[in-house]
Structure 1
Amino acid sequence: MSTLSTSPKTATTRDAAAARALPTRRRWFMLTLLLVATVINYVDRVNISIAAPFLSRDLGLDKVQMGLIFSAFAWTYAFALVPAGFIADRFGSRLVYGASLITWSAATVGQGMVSGFASLFGLRLAVGALEAPAFPANSRAVTVWFPARERGMASSIYVCGQYLGTALFTGGLLWLATHYSWRHVFYVTGSAGILFGLVWLWLYRDPSECKKVSPEELAYIEEGGALVKSAGERTRFDWRQLAELLSYRQVWAICLGKFASTSALYFFLTWFPTYLMEERQMSTIKVGIFAVLPFVGATVGILLAGAISDLLIRRGCSLSFARKLPLVVGSALGMSIVLVNFTDSNLLCIAILTCAFFAQGIASASWAAVSEVAPKELIGVTGGFTSLAANIGGIVTPTVIGFIVQSTGTFAYAFWFIGAVALMGTLSYSFLLGRLHRIELRPR
């Protein structure tokens, strides 16, 4: 008697058919909420860069002071991420994300009322600390709602919110700053966040607590590798578990890679409009148009990375290869940012920066890798720790660029700095990361 085996392609076809036949698709609704929350999250990070050329003149701030203000968010954000990850594991994505949204948005409104460096710097520190639970809660929500075969695309969809918001709203926020005042940029974005925080608390639920998810969909996501758990299942934190987590090279490789890609991201979130206005001498209207293009490129990059990664898994490639390929390719292509130093053409400059940010979007697929390696006991903590490493780039990059521009009068060396960091990320993902697999902690 012969033994029949199921090919990966046949299994994939069967899984796809099962997904289409499900009576509910509640996981995609929850992902939509994550996407909107991430858009607001990043609009409230980038609004300072849009207001910067106006508020720096109004408040009399120099380049070094603006560099410190740009980096202030990341100071508190980075170091609050690990405790924020534990809080997300302990109390669940619904409560933690809702509270985070409302409080950081209130601090955003407060930025419109500042009178000088100290008050603006302090409120940027507050926004950073209060936004810290967002991405650990995102990572946790995707891990509990999505099977492994869909997790790459799901992670890419919510991560693209960090580019989509800027692409959609830069023109409108520049219009507000120009026709009213830079203060209205903060009033409008902060108010929108408070309102959505209330919507999040009303609509989001974990799968085991969601009354609108069918038993079939719940079984589908759990059998596919989703770590379905309730917010009521409290995670007990043990420092020995954290020490064990940090003994794995996969964690450190992702940390170095995320630091590299986030360094490029923070240039675009902070100094980019100033670079276009002051070094490239573009008008406000041109900045409103051209500044959008790199963010569109990054959005395409992250969605393409997620789609290709999941496609490779469905075609029978190993999960490790499918998740690592976008990270290596994106990091390597990100080094192209240095080419902007060799052109005087504004159109070619924007084309190069769009390509570089497209690459950064591809490399941002690292969130899917985090979801694959995080031990089930420490999903949020793993997301928090890798985000901490990433956002050290948010501290370093805006500050370094501020000192470079202040001392040299040009952004040229800033692009060499970002290119060198991209090379470090490429080497980390290529040689240090190794095989991706879910970390199994020793029982306590």
Structure 2
Amino acid sequence: MIDSAPSVIRKPTSYRWELLILLWLAFFLNQADRQIFSVVLPLIRQDLGLTDAELGLIASALVWTYGLLVPIAGFIGDRFSRRNILGFCLLFWSGATLFTGTCSSVVQFILLRGVGTGGGEAFYAPSANALLGETYRENRSLALSIHQTAVYFGIVLSGLIAGYIGEHYGWRNAFYLFGGLGIALAVVFFSRIPKETSPDRDGDTEVAFPEILTTARLIVRKPTVVLLTLGFGCMVFVNVGYLTWMPLFLVDKFTMSLTDAGFSALFYHHLGAFLGVLSGARLADYFARANPRSRLIIQALGLLLASPFIYWISMSQTQTMTYVALFGFGLFRGWYDSNIVASLYEVVSPTVRSTAYGLMLACAFLIGSSAPYLLGVLKPTLGLTLGLASLSGVYALGGLLIGSGAIWFFENDREVNL
């Protein structure tokens, strides 16, 4: 059965900070390993002669794998040592990343990057967030917020570092570097972080699948949860498509170097997202005191306000205007990001929150996973400019879905939170 008591109640301060630092580095590599393919994509295309559709399929394979496995990862994280799960998944995805540097065919890329890297990364977030939440019981929000910043640093710095290495030393060495760093970090993690001891975590997984089905039946009865999930799927669809193709878009449109394109495509957007997360959370917390539906409204406004900036990114004629649009897109995307979990928790019982979030992640990533492939298929005829511009409509759709949930269904679906 699921453990009812936390396995880590109180640890020395030195241990707690060491755990947070090591998990921050692991999450950094988690995001970096996911992004470097997009950064060096022009070099892979040139070296191996892959089509745009094949490159898009490789990118989509990772998201498909992640979406399928993340609910299972959440249940496994409740039944086995989270320290072991985190160490082994870091070792697994880093090894897959390293060997991606040896790939020479579409099938090899799909197996190593899509299934290997994506499958390993799926097991990270559920166990990492749970372990940090148990360890930092008195200042949980601070620890999780610090951990979350690794997303922005991982994506941005991977663009800069992978672009430079690919441009000067070949794209394969970018995978070798990041994969090797992950393997070294896994060794350090196993040597420094002790295994939790809990009599409740006995590895019983027989009830996992029935529990997933039971929870799924409960949450799909709530229209607000369904609309939040569909809105999340729209956001993932746009963001995965943007992250995959934006570096190549800048290379082709402005004849930028790979290093500059990799950095610029990611830095301005995620700078805006960082500020948006902070401001969106403050706004939502302030207005939610009087009206909890404000969290959903902030999310809907974030997607709707970001939509024209996505169109502007594609249609801007200068690099400066493109960067301004990337910043605006990120700023309002941050408003949405700041309340993903908080909005769901308003309409989901505390007893099924972890499972509900895992299912929401799975559905959203499965919806969004097709974006890189579709944009790759359409690129030869529609072009990246119009393809990326069309993503603005998907963001607007997501905003309308969440807004309709806030207006028409929230009051009936709302849970009294404990």
TM-score interval w.r.t. the shorter chain? Answer: 0.7 to 0.9
Q: Does 1:425 align with 2:406?
A: no
Q: Residue 4 of structure 2 aligns with which residue?
A: none
Query: For residue 361 of structure 1, what is the aligned residue in structure 2?
Result: 334
1:55 to 36, 44, 52: 44
How far is 1:139 from its partner?
A: 4.3
Paired residue secondary structure (1:320): coil
| CA separation of 1:230 and 1:367: change in aligned 2, threshold 3 A | farther
Relative distance call for 1:328 and 1:432 in structure 2 (3 A) is same
Q: Which residue of 1 aligns with 2:86?
A: 97
Give the CA deviation at 1:317: 1.1
1 CA distance for matches of 2:281 and 2:80? 28
Partner of 1:242: 216
What is the Cα deviation at residue 45 of structure 1? 0.6
- How far did residue 192 of structure 1 move? 1.6
Indicate yes or no: 2:232 matched with 1:258: yes
Task: Find the counterpart in structure 2 of residue 334 from structure 1.
Answer: 306
Deviation of residue 87 (structure 1)? Answer: 1.2
- Please state how far the C-alpha of 1:188 moved relative to its aligned partner: 0.9
- 1:317 alignment partner in structure 2: 289
Structure 1 Cα separation of the partners of residues 125 and 330 of structure 2: 20
Post-superposition offset of 1:33: 4.3
Question: Structure 1's 195 and 333: CA in aligned 2 closer, same or farther, altered over 3 A?
Answer: farther
**2:322 corresponds to:** 349
SS at match of 1:282: coil
Q: Which amino acid aligns with 1:382?
A: A
Query: TM-score, normalization: structure 2?
Result: 0.82
| In structure 2, distance between residues paired with 1:171 and 1:157 | 22
1:77 aligns with 2:87: no
Q: Report the AA paired with residue 123 of structure 2.
A: P
Partner of 2:152: 163
More displaced, 131-140 or 368-377? Answer: 368-377
- Distance (whole Å) between structure 2 residues aligned to residue 45 and residue 377 of structure 1: 32
Amino acid at match of 2:229: C
Residue in 1 that maps onto 2:245: 271
- Per the alignment, residue 295 of structure 1 pairs with 270
Deviations 1:1-52 (A, max 9, x none): xxxxxxxxxxxxxxxxxxxxxx959767655444333221111110101121
Partner of 1:382 in structure 2?
Answer: 356
Is 1:109 matched up with 2:84?
Answer: no
Aligned length: 395
Please state how far the C-alpha of 1:140 moved relative to its aligned partner. Answer: 3.1
Q: Secondary structure at the match of 1:344?
A: coil
Match of 2:6 in 1: none
Counterpart-to-counterpart distance in 1, 2:284 and 2:17: 19
Cα RMSD, aligned residues only: 3.3
Cα separation, partners in 2 of 1:110 and 1:438, compared to 1, 3 Å: farther
Contact 1:93/1:231 (CA < 8 Å) preserved in 2?
Answer: no
Distance 2:82 2:74 in 1: 10
Matched, 1:122 2:111: yes
Equivalent position of 2:30 in the other structure:
41
Residue 105 and residue 307 in structure 1: after superposition, are their counterparts in 2 closer, same or farther (change >3 A)? farther
Sequence identity of aligned pairs in percent?
25
Distance 2:295 2:194 in 1: 28
Aligned match of 1:398: 372
Distance 1:378 1:276, change over 3 A: same
Aligned to 1:218: none
Give per-residue Cα distances to partners, 1:149-175, cap 9 Å, x unaligned. 964x65544333222212223222111
How far did 1:307 drift?
Answer: 4.8
1:50-107 per-residue CA deviation (whole Å, 9 max, x = no partner) reads: 1211111111111111111111101211111221222122225323222211111111
Whole-Å separation in 2 of the counterparts to 1:401 and 1:36: 32
Please say which of residues 98-107 and 286-295 is displaced more in the overlay: 286-295
Alignment-mate amino acid for residue 307 of structure 2? M
Question: Is contact 1:86–1:378 with CA below 8 Å preserved after alignment?
Answer: no
Partner residue, 1:131: 121
Structure 2 letter corresponding to 1:192: L
Maintained 8 Å contact 2:247/2:258: no
Counterpart-to-counterpart distance in 1, 2:185 and 2:243: 22
In 2, the alpha carbon distance for the partners of 1:303 and 1:246 equals: 30
State which drifts further: 376-385 or 127-136: 376-385
5+ residue gaps, structure 1, are 1-22, 211-228
29-38 or 104-113: bigger deviation: 29-38
* Residue deviations 1:270-301 (CA, integer Å, cap 9, x gap): 11110100133223353244222222222332
Shift of 1:414: 2.7
Query: What TM-score results when the alignment is normalised by the length of structure 1?
Result: 0.78
Q: Which moved more, 1:43-52 or 1:191-200?
A: 191-200
3-state DSSP class of the match of 1:130? helix
8 Å CA contact 2:53, 2:377 repeated in 1: yes
CA 404–397 in structure 1, closer or farther in 2 if over 3 Å, else same:
same
